[in-house]
Amino acid sequence: MKMRDRLTCTIACAVLTGAFTSVASGAAKTVLDQTALVEGFDYSYLVEGATKDFCDFGEPKNSESDELKELHLTKNRSKFRLNQRRMEELDKATEKAAIDYMNVSWNWISQIQHPDMRIINDNDGQPSLLETDYCAAGGDLSTHIYAFGIRDLKDPKSKLSNPHAFIYIPMNVKGKAGPHLGNIYYLVLLSIVNDSADCGDPSNADYARCRALRELAVMQMEGKKGREFREAIQLRIKYILPVDDPYLMHTKFHNGVIHGSL
Protein backbone atom coordinates (compact mmCIF):
# COMPACT_ATOMS: atom_id res chain seq x y z
CA MET A 1 0.00 0.00 0.00
CA LYS A 2 1.39 3.41 -0.90
CA MET A 3 1.88 6.09 1.74
CA ARG A 4 -0.81 8.19 0.11
CA ASP A 5 -3.31 5.42 0.79
CA ARG A 6 -2.70 5.81 4.51
CA LEU A 7 -1.98 9.42 5.41
CA THR A 8 -5.25 11.26 5.74
CA CYS A 9 -6.48 14.40 7.43
CA THR A 10 -9.76 15.95 8.43
CA ILE A 11 -11.12 19.45 7.71
CA ALA A 12 -8.26 20.78 5.54
CA CYS A 13 -4.93 19.91 3.92
CA ALA A 14 -2.35 21.37 1.54
CA VAL A 15 0.83 20.49 -0.36
CA LEU A 16 3.54 22.73 -1.88
CA THR A 17 5.98 20.87 -4.11
CA GLY A 18 9.02 21.66 -6.23
CA ALA A 19 12.48 20.90 -7.54
CA PHE A 20 16.10 21.74 -6.73
CA THR A 21 18.48 23.79 -8.83
CA SER A 22 22.12 24.51 -7.98
CA VAL A 23 23.09 27.96 -6.70
CA ALA A 24 25.42 28.15 -9.70
CA SER A 25 26.38 25.51 -12.19
CA GLY A 26 28.49 22.94 -10.39
CA ALA A 27 28.58 25.01 -7.19
CA ALA A 28 26.29 22.97 -4.92
CA LYS A 29 28.24 20.62 -2.66
CA THR A 30 25.31 19.52 -0.52
CA VAL A 31 21.54 19.92 -0.50
CA LEU A 32 22.00 22.93 1.81
CA ASP A 33 23.60 24.78 -1.11
CA GLN A 34 20.73 24.06 -3.48
CA THR A 35 17.83 26.30 -4.44
CA ALA A 36 14.29 24.88 -4.42
CA LEU A 37 11.81 25.62 -7.20
CA VAL A 38 8.12 25.75 -6.22
CA GLU A 39 6.16 23.49 -8.56
CA GLY A 40 2.94 22.88 -6.64
CA PHE A 41 0.88 23.58 -3.55
CA ASP A 42 -1.93 21.24 -2.49
CA TYR A 43 -4.28 22.99 -0.12
CA SER A 44 -7.78 21.64 0.42
CA TYR A 45 -10.70 22.53 2.67
CA LEU A 46 -12.93 19.73 3.90
CA VAL A 47 -16.11 19.53 5.89
CA GLU A 48 -15.69 18.34 9.45
CA GLY A 49 -15.66 14.57 9.66
CA ALA A 50 -14.35 14.12 6.10
CA THR A 51 -10.89 12.79 5.43
CA LYS A 52 -8.23 13.55 2.84
CA ASP A 53 -4.76 12.27 2.16
CA PHE A 54 -2.44 15.28 2.39
CA CYS A 55 -0.12 13.62 -0.15
CA ASP A 56 -2.89 13.29 -2.72
CA PHE A 57 -1.94 16.35 -4.76
CA GLY A 58 -4.82 16.03 -7.23
CA GLU A 59 -5.14 18.63 -9.97
CA PRO A 60 -2.37 21.26 -10.06
CA LYS A 61 -3.38 24.47 -8.35
CA ASN A 62 -3.65 27.70 -10.33
CA SER A 63 -0.71 30.03 -9.70
CA GLU A 64 -3.25 32.76 -8.87
CA SER A 65 -4.96 30.74 -6.12
CA ASP A 66 -5.78 32.42 -2.83
CA GLU A 67 -3.43 30.02 -1.05
CA LEU A 68 -0.39 30.87 -3.16
CA LYS A 69 -1.26 34.57 -3.04
CA GLU A 70 -1.36 34.41 0.76
CA LEU A 71 2.13 32.86 0.77
CA HIS A 72 3.33 35.27 -1.96
CA LEU A 73 4.53 32.37 -4.09
CA THR A 74 4.15 31.74 -7.81
CA LYS A 75 4.09 28.24 -9.24
CA ASN A 76 7.12 27.37 -11.44
CA ARG A 77 8.68 30.75 -10.69
CA SER A 78 9.24 31.19 -6.95
CA LYS A 79 12.44 29.76 -5.50
CA PHE A 80 13.87 29.52 -2.00
CA ARG A 81 16.90 28.19 -0.17
CA LEU A 82 17.96 27.81 3.43
CA ASN A 83 20.10 30.74 4.60
CA GLN A 84 21.59 31.29 8.04
CA ARG A 85 20.16 33.97 10.27
CA ARG A 86 22.54 36.82 11.03
CA MET A 87 24.56 36.21 14.18
CA GLU A 88 23.05 39.26 15.90
CA GLU A 89 19.61 37.65 15.56
CA LEU A 90 20.68 34.55 17.48
CA ASP A 91 21.34 33.61 21.06
CA LYS A 92 25.05 33.01 20.56
CA ALA A 93 25.40 30.95 23.74
CA THR A 94 22.90 28.30 22.65
CA GLU A 95 22.36 28.54 18.90
CA LYS A 96 25.70 29.71 17.47
CA ALA A 97 25.01 30.00 13.73
CA ALA A 98 22.71 27.02 13.49
CA ILE A 99 19.33 28.65 12.77
CA ASP A 100 18.33 29.02 9.14
CA TYR A 101 15.36 30.51 7.35
CA MET A 102 13.77 29.91 3.96
CA ASN A 103 14.94 32.81 1.83
CA VAL A 104 12.47 33.32 -1.03
CA SER A 105 14.07 34.89 -4.11
CA TRP A 106 12.87 38.43 -4.90
CA ASN A 107 10.28 38.39 -2.12
CA TRP A 108 10.67 39.62 1.46
CA ILE A 109 7.10 39.11 2.63
CA SER A 110 6.35 35.42 2.06
CA GLN A 111 5.10 33.73 5.24
CA ILE A 112 7.42 30.77 4.66
CA GLN A 113 10.38 33.08 5.42
CA HIS A 114 9.25 33.74 8.98
CA PRO A 115 9.94 30.51 10.93
CA ASP A 116 13.35 29.80 12.42
CA MET A 117 14.33 26.48 10.84
CA ARG A 118 16.48 24.03 12.80
CA ILE A 119 18.42 21.72 10.52
CA ILE A 120 18.38 18.18 11.88
CA ASN A 121 20.82 15.42 10.88
CA ASP A 122 23.16 17.52 8.75
CA ASN A 123 25.93 15.01 9.64
CA ASP A 124 28.71 17.62 9.81
CA GLY A 125 28.04 18.88 6.31
CA GLN A 126 27.64 15.46 4.71
CA PRO A 127 23.90 14.88 5.01
CA SER A 128 22.14 11.64 4.18
CA LEU A 129 18.91 12.22 2.22
CA LEU A 130 15.85 10.03 1.89
CA GLU A 131 16.12 8.09 -1.36
CA THR A 132 12.38 7.45 -1.47
CA ASP A 133 9.52 9.82 -2.24
CA TYR A 134 8.07 10.27 1.25
CA CYS A 135 4.51 10.67 0.00
CA ALA A 136 4.73 7.56 -2.16
CA ALA A 137 6.72 5.20 0.02
CA GLY A 138 7.34 6.78 3.43
CA GLY A 139 10.76 7.01 5.01
CA ASP A 140 12.57 7.42 8.31
CA LEU A 141 13.26 11.11 8.88
CA SER A 142 15.00 10.42 12.17
CA THR A 143 18.07 9.20 10.25
CA HIS A 144 17.98 11.66 7.34
CA ILE A 145 18.31 15.41 6.95
CA TYR A 146 15.28 17.64 7.44
CA ALA A 147 14.56 21.09 8.86
CA PHE A 148 11.86 22.01 11.38
CA GLY A 149 10.33 25.30 12.46
CA ILE A 150 7.17 26.68 14.10
CA ARG A 151 5.45 29.94 13.24
CA ASP A 152 1.92 31.36 12.91
CA LEU A 153 0.36 31.01 9.46
CA LYS A 154 -2.72 32.85 8.22
CA ASP A 155 -5.63 30.97 6.70
CA PRO A 156 -6.43 32.86 3.46
CA LYS A 157 -10.15 32.14 3.77
CA SER A 158 -10.85 32.81 7.45
CA LYS A 159 -7.94 35.31 7.82
CA LEU A 160 -7.25 33.70 11.20
CA SER A 161 -3.73 32.76 12.24
CA ASN A 162 -2.61 29.77 14.25
CA PRO A 163 0.74 28.07 14.82
CA HIS A 164 2.02 25.67 12.19
CA ALA A 165 4.96 23.35 11.95
CA PHE A 166 7.08 23.85 8.82
CA ILE A 167 8.97 20.65 7.95
CA TYR A 168 11.37 20.79 5.02
CA ILE A 169 12.17 17.35 3.57
CA PRO A 170 14.77 17.24 0.78
CA MET A 171 14.99 13.89 -1.01
CA ASN A 172 17.41 12.24 -3.42
CA VAL A 173 14.93 9.88 -5.04
CA LYS A 174 16.61 6.72 -6.34
CA GLY A 175 19.99 8.28 -5.55
CA LYS A 176 20.05 10.11 -8.88
CA ALA A 177 21.35 13.45 -7.59
CA GLY A 178 24.72 12.24 -6.30
CA PRO A 179 26.08 12.17 -2.72
CA HIS A 180 24.53 14.71 -0.33
CA LEU A 181 22.41 16.39 -3.06
CA GLY A 182 18.66 16.36 -3.62
CA ASN A 183 16.33 16.30 -6.62
CA ILE A 184 12.87 16.85 -5.06
CA TYR A 185 11.53 18.22 -1.78
CA TYR A 186 8.41 18.65 0.31
CA LEU A 187 7.72 21.55 2.64
CA VAL A 188 5.02 20.16 4.91
CA LEU A 189 2.76 22.62 6.77
CA LEU A 190 0.90 21.14 9.75
CA SER A 191 -1.44 23.15 11.94
CA ILE A 192 -0.93 23.02 15.71
CA VAL A 193 -3.81 23.18 18.19
CA ASN A 194 -3.86 25.95 20.78
CA ASP A 195 -4.76 23.57 23.59
CA SER A 196 -3.70 19.94 24.01
CA ALA A 197 -7.29 19.13 24.97
CA ASP A 198 -8.18 19.77 21.32
CA CYS A 199 -6.20 16.67 20.37
CA GLY A 200 -9.21 14.68 21.51
CA ASP A 201 -9.25 11.16 22.85
CA PRO A 202 -5.94 9.26 23.14
CA SER A 203 -7.50 6.50 21.06
CA ASN A 204 -7.67 8.83 18.04
CA ALA A 205 -5.34 7.78 15.26
CA ASP A 206 -3.66 11.17 15.10
CA TYR A 207 -3.49 11.85 18.84
CA ALA A 208 0.27 11.26 19.14
CA ARG A 209 1.03 13.62 16.26
CA CYS A 210 -1.24 16.31 17.65
CA ARG A 211 0.31 16.11 21.13
CA ALA A 212 3.86 16.02 19.79
CA LEU A 213 3.34 19.21 17.80
CA ARG A 214 1.63 20.96 20.71
CA GLU A 215 4.48 19.99 23.07
CA LEU A 216 7.07 21.45 20.70
CA ALA A 217 5.06 24.66 20.32
CA VAL A 218 4.92 25.05 24.10
CA MET A 219 8.67 24.42 24.38
CA GLN A 220 9.34 27.14 21.82
CA MET A 221 7.08 29.58 23.68
CA GLU A 222 8.94 28.75 26.88
CA GLY A 223 12.22 29.68 25.20
CA LYS A 224 13.74 26.24 24.73
CA LYS A 225 16.72 26.52 22.34
CA GLY A 226 19.81 24.86 21.04
CA ARG A 227 20.54 21.18 21.52
CA GLU A 228 17.66 20.72 23.96
CA PHE A 229 15.09 21.83 21.40
CA ARG A 230 16.66 19.88 18.55
CA GLU A 231 16.66 16.70 20.62
CA ALA A 232 13.00 17.28 21.48
CA ILE A 233 12.20 17.54 17.75
CA GLN A 234 14.09 14.35 16.98
CA LEU A 235 12.28 12.44 19.72
CA ARG A 236 8.90 13.43 18.26
CA ILE A 237 9.43 13.34 14.48
CA LYS A 238 8.39 9.65 14.32
CA TYR A 239 4.96 10.68 15.64
CA ILE A 240 4.66 13.80 13.47
CA LEU A 241 5.67 12.19 10.17
CA PRO A 242 5.90 8.46 10.84
CA VAL A 243 7.96 6.03 8.79
CA ASP A 244 5.00 4.14 7.38
CA ASP A 245 2.29 3.83 10.04
CA PRO A 246 -1.25 4.86 9.10
CA TYR A 247 -2.63 7.85 10.96
CA LEU A 248 -5.30 10.52 10.58
CA MET A 249 -4.45 14.20 10.41
CA HIS A 250 -7.00 15.99 12.56
CA THR A 251 -6.86 19.75 12.06
CA LYS A 252 -8.67 22.78 13.40
CA PHE A 253 -7.27 24.99 10.66
CA HIS A 254 -5.40 24.05 7.46
CA ASN A 255 -2.46 21.87 6.51
CA GLY A 256 -0.51 21.54 3.32
CA VAL A 257 2.60 20.58 1.42
CA ILE A 258 4.68 22.77 -0.88
CA HIS A 259 6.51 20.54 -3.30
CA GLY A 260 8.97 20.82 -6.15
CA SER A 261 12.44 20.04 -7.45
CA LEU A 262 16.01 20.86 -6.46
Q: What is the pLDDT of residues 161-187, one digit of tens each?
A: 888 899 999 999 988 888 899 999 998
Q: What is the pLDDT of residue 234?
A: 96
Higher per-residue confidence, 104 vs 2:
104
| CA 196 from centroid of its chain's CA atoms | 21
Residue 92 predicted with pLDDT over 90: no
Distances from the Cα of 33 to the Cαs of 23, 29, 83, 127, 208, in angstroms? 6, 6, 9, 12, 34
Q: What is the pLDDT of residue 115?
A: 85
Q: What is the mean pLDDT of residues 127-137?
A: 88
Say what the pTM is: 0.84
Any idea which of 38-42, 128-132, 237-241 has the lowest mean pLDDT? 38-42
- 9 strand-pairing partners: 52, 249
CA–CA separation, 170 and 199 (whole Å):
29
Phi and psi at residue 252, to the nearest 5°: -95, -25
Higher per-residue confidence, 157 vs 123:
123
Write the single-letter amino acid at 35: T
CA–CA separation, 16 and 81 (whole Å):
15
Residue 208 predicted with pLDDT over 90: no
Range of the domain at 161: 3-261
| CA 181 from centroid of its chain's CA atoms | 18
CA–CA separation, 69 and 110 (whole Å):
9
CB-side neighbour CA atoms (13 Å) of 8:
12
Q: What is the pLDDT of residue 245?
A: 53
Domain count, the chain: 1
Kind of pairing between the strands at 7-10 and 247-250: parallel
Higher per-residue confidence, 68 vs 92:
68
Residue 79 predicted with pLDDT over 90: no
